[in-house]
């Protein structure tokens, strides 16, 4: 297994607040939320960045969107953001592909905003 914090959450080697799990996808709260709802939605397969996606990942990529939709419904969000940072130069810190599901009130330096 790569030395990867999200793989360790999948393996329950480090704790996380799990919001959804199936054979291919895991979703858990971001440890530093920037919005009322800030959930990370990840494939269980270690895919480092969106640059590493191939045709084989079509099904799991689709599932990430479906899980995000379900979680947003559960959270009562009328709309939401799905944020994806791609590689270090794109602001990605954890090299395990993840969508940030963001909704509700945002904690910004300029005050609170809503999607
Ligand atoms: P990114 O910059 O897109 O790679 O985002 C990585 C996100 O992972 C950040 O929002 C972090 O707050 C979050 N994060 C890092 N470590 C953990 C952890 N152990 N549990 C939950 N979220 C984490
Ligand atoms: Zn990983």
pLDDT at 115: 67
Q: Does 100 participate in catalysis according to the annotation?
A: no
How is residue 22 written in tokens?
């199936």
Structure confidence by residue, pLDDT tens digits, 79-100? 999 999 999 999 999 999 999 9
- State the pLDDT confidence band at 11, using cuts at 50, 70 and 90: very high
**Ligand 1 environment, Cβ below 6 A:** 5, 14, 16, 30-32, 40, 85, 91-94
- State the pLDDT confidence band at 114, using cuts at 50, 70 and 90: low
Ligand 1, residue 95: give the atom nearest the CA: 4
Of 4, 48, 11, which is closest to residue 26 (Cα–Cα)?
Answer: 11
Task: Please say if the pLDDT value at position 60 is more than 80.
Answer: yes
pTM: 0.94
Percent of the chain with pLDDT over 70: 93
Candidate of 16, 38, 39, 40 to mutate for ligand 1, largest count of ligand atoms within 8 Å of Cβ: 40
Candidate of 35, 88, 91, 93 to mutate for ligand 1, largest count of ligand atoms within 8 Å of Cβ: 93
CA of 95 to the centre of ligand 1 (A): 10
């Amino acid at each position: 297994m790569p030395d990867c914090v999200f793989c360790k959450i999948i393996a329950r080697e480090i704790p996380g607040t799990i919001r959804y799990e199936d054979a291919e996808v895991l979703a858990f709260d971001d440890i530093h939320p920037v919005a009322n709802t800030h959930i990370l939605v990840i494939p269980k397969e270690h895919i480092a960045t969106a640059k590493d996606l191939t045709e084989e990942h079509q099904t799991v990529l689709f599932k990430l969107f479906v899980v995000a939709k379900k979680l947003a419904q559960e959270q009562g969000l009328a709309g939401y953001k799905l944020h994806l940072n791609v590689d270090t130069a794109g602001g990605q810190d954890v090299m395990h592909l993840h969508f940030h599901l963001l909704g509700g009130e945002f904690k910004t330096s300029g005050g609170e905003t809503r999607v």
